[in-house]
Amino acid sequence: MKKYLFILLIISSLFAQNTKMQIFKPVTGTCPQDWLEEMTKEVDDVDIVTLMNVKNLKKEIGIPKEIQSCNTSILDDYIFEGNVPARAIKDFFKSKPKNSIGLSLPAYENEKNPKTVYVIFEDKTYKIFGKY
């Protein structure tokens, strides 16, 4: 828990506002344009940060390998792994599950319809949050 908070504090200190969404993506990866457009409509300020090794960030934050995806985003000190739909993010902020650190849309869910979104907890466990 302390390690997770420390990592978030460092990352958050790199950016001035909590209302900014930082999307961390690998050098070799691209985010789907429709998802990026959806985020820019829903969030006031979106900043895309390209990293050489996003896997290290995912490991430090505590995102379980089974539900990892292409990019990792931070919004209001919460983690959103992959291309989590804006509606799922809104639902999350309406009623945050206790001890949750964010949501994940695993890579294997990208082509499915509906997509299964998972909630991630501080202890690195996860469970289904909903279908979107």
Q: Three-state SS string across 70-123, please?
A: CCEEEECCEEEECCCCHHHHHHHHHCCCCCEEEEECCHHHCCCCCCEEEEEECC
pLDDT at 114: 96
Domain borders along the chain are 2-131
Q: Check pLDDT > 50 for residue 125.
A: yes
Q: How big is the CA angle at 125 (ends 59 and 66), to the nearest 5 degrees?
A: 60
**pLDDT (tens digit per residue) in 56-84:** 999 999 999 999 998 999 999 999 999 99
113 contacts: CB under 8 Å, gap ≥ 6: none
What are the tokens at 8? 């978030």
What are the tokens at 96? 């945050």
The Cβ-side half-sphere exposure at 28, using a 13 Å CA radius, reads: 4
Confidence of residue 1 (pLDDT cuts 50, 70, 90): low
**pLDDT (tens digit per residue) in 10-64:** 444 444 444 789 999 888 877 777 888 889 888 889 998 988 888 899 999 999 9
Q: Check pLDDT > 80 for residue 120.
A: yes
